[in-house]
Homo-oligomer: A and B are copies of this chain.
């Protein structure tokens, strides 16, 4: 039956051999203690918690789901207890500021733990994930009073956070939102409106829920420039930090969703509740967006996590399941011996390991952005993070979903029923392509904003890093064919990028029509680059000094180069065809 083992070995290979994180953190005064041995013990501890506590609750949570009773959300059996253990062990404050009780570990460690949480129990993982997002927003924008009152309890996991953005007529286009906020005499505000799709909107796992609500002040300009952010607690908090009277916040309904059934996605009514402004008036969207890179990286990692969970189950099943005979076999074969089953498993693995590498690369840049003393390095890191964030969010959830569909297919009929959990993983994985900005919106962000950010310097820098890896691999004969495939992919990407930024495809309409295919081309090229780096680190000629050599890296790199990376050529042709055929039909002709 299925189980989950955290991929600590692969994570440590990336940190030690591929990205040499000891040297990276040694440059950051706040992180000089963060060596690989420390990280490894954190990861092993987190992995144990995820395998032993969270993974067994994943299927029972899906079956039981959340329910609304007398206006209160009840989470599935075991969730509240697990959250208590989780919080008491300090997992909620791993990367939070030590000023408010956090452990101050780098984003890199946080994101590796996030992968495990997502893999073992996506519904559960959203509770601390959203709380962290809320904390980061509060820390960056709220007054000292609000920070001191709310952050310690939230970081300790005693209270959780929720982000209330979407309304029924304002999703991708938040400029349309209608929730209002009116000033009170005491400096606080009265917030009124209804929000939908609010994850962790209400539950029984913590003593308070702190809502960050986007709303309009009376004098607000129309559109996105008139949105402000308000902190609205479920229970009003005394000056000593004790929750007291209920605020006027109620659960309108629980959504019936395809998956993440153990996560309460609520319609929330803010019925003239009391709220406090976070950040400047009319600057709420900007405040919310300060934590958006981190949130989107987190969502990308969700796609990665569920894909790995699905992969692990598919491998277990494929080893045990005897069916058919491979060419030349005299007895029934385990299906892992059939070439087409191997193709499916390798496709999943080629994605998860490259996706993990891209995540780690980006998380290290986020840590540089936050902790590095050199402003030039910080600036460069900011650009790379901004560029890669939409790629990670969209590509890791698109490919992650595709991987879970493959992981289900490996099990045949047994993948369609509850038994092995593979169908749940598909249903759960699907949400990550939608929330925190749909993947179409991410692609628009990449093509319309990020390619031209800072005069295109981040793109130039990234392509330079890819070329550096190509150069370093050149003397190694074992890498020649992978290297050649990556070189081709980069050529396609560079050529299309030029057309989109300054060539025949640079109009807003052309970029919009090209965006999703372009993001896929971009991501596949990055994956190819990182496969070449990983394969290089595993060869004798590689510069590894730690001897951590997970099996099959070069083989998987070769598979990726042979069987997946060629897609970049077609994507370049598809993008190159332009928007004409997309725009041709009248709306009435669909």
Contacts and interface: CB of A to CB of B under 8 A. Distances in A.
Interface of A: 166, 169-173, 176, 196-197, 255-259, 265, 315, 318-319, 322-324, 326-327, 332, 334, 336-346, 349, 401, 405, 408-409, 412-418, 423, 426-427, 430-431, 433-435, 438-440, 443-444, 507-509, 512-513, 515-517, 551-552, 555-556, 558-559, 561-564, 566-570, 573-574, 577-590
A551 B586 CA distance: 9
Contacts of A170: 323
A148 B508 CA distance: 68
10 contacts: A172-B323, A173-B332, A176-B332, A345-B590, A409-B433, A551-B589, A552-B589, A563-B577, A568-B570, A569-B570
A573 B569 contact: yes
Given A176-B332, A346-B581, A427-B427, 10 more contacts: A256-B418, A257-B416, A258-B423, A258-B427, A336-B587, A336-B590, A338-B512, A342-B582, A349-B590, A569-B573
Nearest to A338: B512
Contacts of A169: 322
A573 B582 contact: no
Given A332-B176, A412-B171, A570-B566, A516 B340 contact: yes
| This chain's copy number in the assembly | 2
Contacts of A344: 440
Nearest to A258: B423
Nearest to A437: B412
Secondary structure at chain A's binding surface: helix, strand, loop or mixed?
Answer: helix
Contacts of A423: 257-258, 430
Given A176-B323, A416-B430, A566-B574, A555 B585 contact: yes
Nearest to A350: B581
Contacts of A338: 512
B584 A559 contact: yes
A413 B427 contact: no
Contacts of A197: 413
A413 B434 contact: yes
Nearest to A345: B590
A127 B4 CA distance: 38
Contacts of A582: 339, 342-343, 346, 559, 563
Select the residue from A324, A433, A567, A585 with max chain B CB neighbours within 10 A: A585
A558 B582 CA distance: 9
Given A416-B257, A513-B340, A439 B409 contact: yes
